[in-house]
Amino acid sequence: MSTFQAPKGTYDLTPPRSATFLAVREAISAPLRDSGYGYIETPGFENVELFARGVGESTDIVTKEMYTLTTKGGDQLALRPEGTASVLRAALEANLHKAGNLPVKLWYSGSYYRYERPQAGRYRHFSQVGAEAIGTEDPALDAELIILADQAYRSLGLRQFRILLNSLGDKECRPVYREALQTFLRDLDLDEETRRRIEINPLRVLDDKRADVQKQLTDAPKLRDYLCDACKAYHEEVRALITAAGVAFEDDEKLVRGLDYYTRTTFEFVHDGLGSQSAVGGGGRYDGLSEMIGGPELPSVGWALGVDRTVLALEAEGVELDLPATTSVYAVPLGEEARRVLFGVVTELRRAGVAADFAFGGRGLKGAMKSANRSGARYTLVAGERDLAEGVVQLKDMESGEQTAVPLTEAAAELAKRLG
């Protein structure tokens, strides 16, 4: 065993479980790639101020959970705790919004970092696939992203998830609600930290998961009662488009999410099989974020889906993914000449697109066949001196156990034919 271990709250992805994570990333990104979203990749760390401005100085993410560091040059950096601010910063820096084709539709995948109390489904290092549609205010975009996430989850075989939906209003109507909510919250029995949050972003108090806080929020003012006509119409259009697409959702008037930049549409995907960490993904509209980080007015919407949580949801439902075989053919040479010849066959198979592996290290037949079994290979190719003298190799079907001699010169073509 190594002297070192993965840091607390993190994990290593190793085969065979890592194949499930790759399959989940592929399933989530596939509908995005088919819907005009281009891939973007950003650094693993950014200027601290990007997240302080964008995510919100009152959020737990910024006040408690960010990993920060000071470079040798004195710059204050943070490991990225979420993806939206970084993606928007990159899009602005590259002037993607000036190309004249709005919205700019982007998707991304990567690791994110938050200093949290580790527990099942909550890690200090976690993986997400995200999508952002930048530069257009259109309820159809909000609906599109929700529908694409639903499509991704259903393509994986998930069925026991729910979509929660709400509207947070905009800069016109939210200040009126904010004032009414603050007046209500100031009379409650709350700790000092929560009282500080009331003055900075009172909506975050609604997101407090503590039972003693939620108990006092029963009679809190309802945001829906303060929405302006424009926000009401916008939200009803989002709801109508999602409904018309056959996607079920639940209205949740307390849903505010944990980031300060959301406006109007906000949504969350939850899975009841995950216990307290039930959210598997979520997102919403963030029309003012660009201005917050120094950019022009660019109304936008996006989401991030947790790969880790999605894998846990699959396990909770007992869904087993149909993963592609990592090895279709396993070559077992017996002797130096066979080693040279079969290595050439394996190279030819790989060039033909066949997943092939080789018994390295000069192991005997028994040990090599055990490795072939562990690899999940559909066929094995075995050859010794006598086989080569006769110009053949032994092709074994690992499912039926049937073994036949095929001409060496036709081995690669025969395997490609059998594997389709």
- What pLDDT is stored for residue 193 in this prediction? 85
What the block records as the tokens of 66 is 């960010």
Pair 157, 278 in one domain: yes
Q: In CATH, what number is assigned to the domain containing residue 92?
A: 3.30.930.10
- How much is the mean pLDDT over the chain? 91
Residue 179 within a domain: no
**pLDDT tens sequence across 357-369:** 999 987 888 999 9
pLDDT digits (tens, 9 = 90+) for 150-177: 999 999 999 999 999 999 999 888 889 8
Q: Which of 291, 317, 343 is the C-terminal boundary of a domain?
A: 317
- Predicted confidence at residue 97, as pLDDT, reads 94
Which of 15-19, 67-71, 261-265 has the weakest average pLDDT? 261-265
Residues 304 and 334 in one domain: no
Q: Are 65 and 162 in a shared domain?
A: yes
**Which CATH number do you get for residue 345?**
3.40.50.800
Across the range 282-287, mean pLDDT stands at: 94
- Supply the pLDDT for residue 59: 65
CA–CA gap between residue 343 and residue 418 (Å, rounded): 20
| Confidence bin at 258 (pLDDT 50/70/90) | low
pTM more than 0.85: yes
Q: Which of 267, 295, 317 delimits the end of a domain? A: 317
| Domain contains 189 | no
Q: Give residue 253's pLDDT band: very low, low, confident or very high (50, 70, 90).
A: confident
Are 345 and 259 in the same domain? no
Structure tokens at 46: 């950014």
Query: Which has more confidence, 71 or 121?
Result: 71
pLDDT (tens digit per residue) in 12-58:
999 889 999 999 999 999 999 999 999 999 999 999 999 888 776 65
The sign one gets for the Cα dihedral 385, 388, 390, 396 is positive
Does 384 lie in the same domain as 289? no
Pair 242, 285 in one domain: yes
pLDDT at 25: 97
Q: Is residue 270, in this structure, part of any structural domain at all?
A: yes
Question: Residue range 226-231: average pLDDT?
Answer: 93
* 259 and 160 assigned to the same domain: yes
For residue 296, is it within any domain? yes
Query: Whole-angstrom Cα distance, residue 142 to residue 127?
Result: 23
Same domain, 41 and 95: yes
* Same domain, yes or no: 51 and 150: yes
pLDDT for 254 equals 81
Mean pLDDT in residue range 119-140: 92
- Amino acid in the structure at residue 12: D
In a domain, 323, yes or no: no
What would the mean pLDDT of 131-148 be, rounded to a whole number? 98
Domain-located, residue 103? yes
Torsion of CA 186, 187, 189, 193, to 10 degrees: 10
Using the predicted structure, report yes or no on whether residue 84 has a pLDDT greater than 70: yes
Residue 221 has which token pair?
A: 């003012």
pLDDT for 325 equals 79
Domain boundary among 317, 345, 364: 317
pLDDT at 1: 64
Share of the chain above pLDDT 70, in %: 97
Helix (H, G, I), strand (E, B) or coil at 22: helix
State what percent of residues in the chain have pLDDT above 90: 68
Binning the chain into helix, strand and coil, the percentages to the nearest 5 are 40, 20, 40
Number of folded domains in the chain?
Answer: 2
Same domain? 99 vs 238: yes
Q: Is residue 304 included in any domain, yes or no? A: yes
Residue 411 pLDDT: 92
User: Can you give the pLDDT at residue 256?
Assistant: 78
> Which pLDDT tens digit goes with each residue over 202-216?
887 887 878 899 899
Range of the domain at 245: 17-173+227-317
Q: Which long-range contacts (CB under 8 A, 24 or more apart) does 148-154 make?
A: 148/31, 148/32, 148/35, 149/28, 149/269, 149/281, 149/303, 149/305, 150/247, 151/31, 152/27, 152/28, 152/30, 152/31, 152/305, 153/269, 153/280, 153/305, 153/310
The answer to whether residue 263 scores a pLDDT higher than 60 is yes
How confident is residue 260, by pLDDT bands cut at 50, 70 and 90? low
CA torsion sign for 311, 315, 319, 323 is: positive
pLDDT at 259: 64
- For the chain, what is the largest distance between any 2 Cα atoms, rounded to a whole number of angstroms? 92
309 φ, ψ (degrees, to nearest 5): -70, -35
Cβ proximity of 51 and 85 under 8 Å: yes
Residues 287 and 163 both lie in one domain: yes
First to last CA, the chain: 42
CA–CA separation, 320 and 40 (whole Å): 30
Rounded CA-CA distance 327/390 in Å is 27
Residue 53 falls within a domain, yes or no?
A: yes
pLDDT given at position 403? 93
Q: Are residues 308 and 345 in the same domain?
A: no
